[in-house]
Amino acid sequence: MSGQGKHIADIRSDYRMAALDEARAGDDPLALFMTWFSEAEAAEITEVNAMVLATCDSAGKPHARIVLLKGLDATGFVFYTNYNSAKGRQIAANPNASLVFFWKELERQVRIEGIIEKVSDADSDAYFQSRPADSRLGAWASNQSSQIADRQVLDDNYAKFKEQFGENIPRPEHWGGYRLVPQHVEFWQGRSNRMHDRICFQLSDGKWAKSRLAP
Ligand SMILES: Cc1cc2nc3c(=O)[nH]c(=O)nc-3n(C[C@H](O)[C@H](O)[C@H](O)COP(=O)(O)O)c2cc1C
């Protein structure tokens, strides 16, 4: 298979920018994540907070999509969405989930696995009200993941809610935040000759255990 340029099978890069060793990784994966995130921001990576979120439905079938990281603290990774969406239904059926960041300009990947919980209503309200009015109306207008007849349905809904709410747009009950509480975090630093560094942290009895995996 080929596009305009090379055959897809011939596309490859060698990674030479940096290394990750056990000492540099430290003992706290959230601290290391924050360092890597700051470095990705400093490198002016676009959509630096975009992450793949993988969830499983009640039959164990996986589903993945991008969402935006909107909060991070010692308790976990926060994103916002529609609780009635496909992902919301999957999370309700199975709270195990996984996140992946890929910061290609730094030749880095971070994989996070854990359990998802809802954030408090107060946190969801505060974040919702910080969003531009257009986005707040969008949360009302889109019954996310449901099938719609055409684009007009969305535009009509948007106009209807704009008329209904005016300046005061409350948070819909079906829209809010989730926090992925991590149990496993892996930092991948690309190295030359496919001899990459992979440092993992596994939560066990409330403590992070660090190990190295073969690339
Ligand atoms: C860059 C980017 C950022 C996105 N951020 C979000 C987000 O923060 N929340 C969200 O619900 N969907 C976001 N989406 C849309 C999701 O990828 C997805 O289409 C949507 O949430 C519906 O997924 P679902 O049907 O599996 O629930 C984003 C998509 C892209 C490409």
Q: Is 136 a catalytic residue?
A: no
Please tell me the predicted confidence (pLDDT) of residue 5.
80
pLDDT in tens, 49-67: 999 999 999 999 999 999 9
The residue to mutate among 56, 68, 72, 179, having the most atoms of ligand 1 within 8 angstroms of its beta carbon, is 68
pLDDT in tens, 114-165: 999 999 999 999 999 999 999 999 999 999 999 999 999 999 999 999 999 9
For residue 86, the ligand 1 atom closest to its alpha carbon is: 27
pLDDT at 213 over 90: yes
- The two three-digit tokens of residue 38, written as one number: 């700051």
Q: Decide if 119 contacts 78 (C-beta within 8 A).
A: yes
**What pLDDT does 73 receive?**
87
For the stretch 120-140, what's the b/e string if a residue is b when 16 or more beta carbons lie within 10 angstroms of its beta carbon?
eeebbeebbeebeeeebbbbb
**Which domains are assigned to the chain?**
12-131+173-212 (2.30.110.10)
Please give the model's pTM, rounded to 2 decimal places. 0.96
